[in-house]
Amino acid sequence: MARLRLDPQATRGINMTPLIDIIFQLMIFFIFAAKADANLMSESMRLANAPDADAYVKRHPLEIVVEVSVDGTIRIAGTELSPNTFRNVLSGAIAKHNMKFPVLIAADSKTSHKHLKTVMDICTSTGISNIRLMALKNQQ
């Protein structure tokens, strides 16, 4: 019976190629995930200041971030929605997942109260009562 001989040079070290491939894939994933989260709000959005408000740092994983611009435009994740479409999106999400999602409203500091009221009325009409307004705690 012939013996199998191992080449001493071939058995030395660990093949790092698969490990490096996985590391690069993870880096790419986290870079795009971070950019996607950072781009949820438009760059022209200037939040109101609320220096005396409680800090809110932990977000609910299912929280819906709604952006309301100065002219009353409603956006979710950069997608512009009409008030009726926004109502349908909330109603559909509630029906599909059988739960009510918390809503975080990010509005420009110059947004009229009537536009915020419209968004809040739509949320409450679909049964959502956990509504928060996003503001800056410290002046920047």
One digit per residue, pLDDT tens: the chain, 140 residues? 567 666 666 556 788 888 888 887 777 666 666 555 544 555 556 555 555 555 556 666 778 888 888 888 898 888 888 999 989 888 888 888 777 778 888 887 788 889 989 999 999 999 888 888 876 656 54
**pTM for the predicted model, two decimal places:** 0.60
Task: Report the distance separating Cα 122 and Cα 87, nearest Å.
Answer: 6
Cβ atoms 74, 66 nearer than 8 A = yes
Best CA proximity match to 65, nearest among 54, 48, 78, 51:
78
Best CA proximity match to 65, nearest among 33, 91, 99, 101:
101
Domains of the chain and any CATH numbers: 64-134 (3.30.420.270)
